[in-house]
Amino acid sequence: MIDPSFFAPVDAKTKKITVTISLIGIFVLLMLLDTMNPSHANLGELTQKDINKKIKVEGKIIEMRRYVTQEKEPMQIVVLQDTTGTQQIILFHEDTILKKEDYIIVIGRVNLYKGKIQIIAEKIIKK
């Protein structure tokens, strides 16, 4: 049997705390949803309003350059092409072996570097 005190009225302070915690939880879930399901984007349609957005793009590698950063870490700059245009993809510590003409899917964040839009890759999937 349910204890009748379970349904007792709640004071205003407890209600405020409950609502605040609920709103914080909803906000956190929305933030996680944004990072878990990046929106699909076309390479030629990225603009400055997309900066810091997590996106998913795909296309063919048409150019590759390998570098070593000042911190002595490997880095690659890949130019990816889809039907709408091209875009630089920056890869740090990438273990996937890539070559020109490979078709890949990239999940990453849009970044602005020296006035140009680029994508900092977080995950690469080779098709």
pLDDT digits (tens, 9 = 90+) for 15-45: 888 889 999 988 888 777 665 678 899 999 9
Please list, residue by residue across 38-72, b when 16 or more beta carbons sit within 10 angstroms of its beta carbon and e when fewer do: beebebeebeeebeeebbbbbbebeeeeeeeeeee
Q: Please indicate, yes or no, whether the overall pTM of this predicted structure exceeds 0.75.
A: no
What do you get for the CA distance between the two ends of the chain, in Å? 59
Query: What ranges do the domains of the chain cover?
Result: 4-36, 39-126
Q: Which CATH architecture best describes the domain 39-126?
A: Beta Barrel (2.40)
pLDDT average, residue stretch 100-105 = 95
pLDDT digits (tens, 9 = 90+) for 61-101: 999 998 888 988 889 999 999 999 999 999 987 677 889 99
The token pair that represents 93 in the structure block? 């510590």
Distance (Å, whole) CA 48 – CA 31: 21
Query: Strand, helix or coil at 115?
Result: coil
Determine contact, residues 96/126, Cβ cutoff 8 Å. Answer: yes
The token pair that represents 107 in the structure block? 């999940």
Q: How high is the pLDDT of residue 14?
A: 84
- More confident: 59 or 66: 59
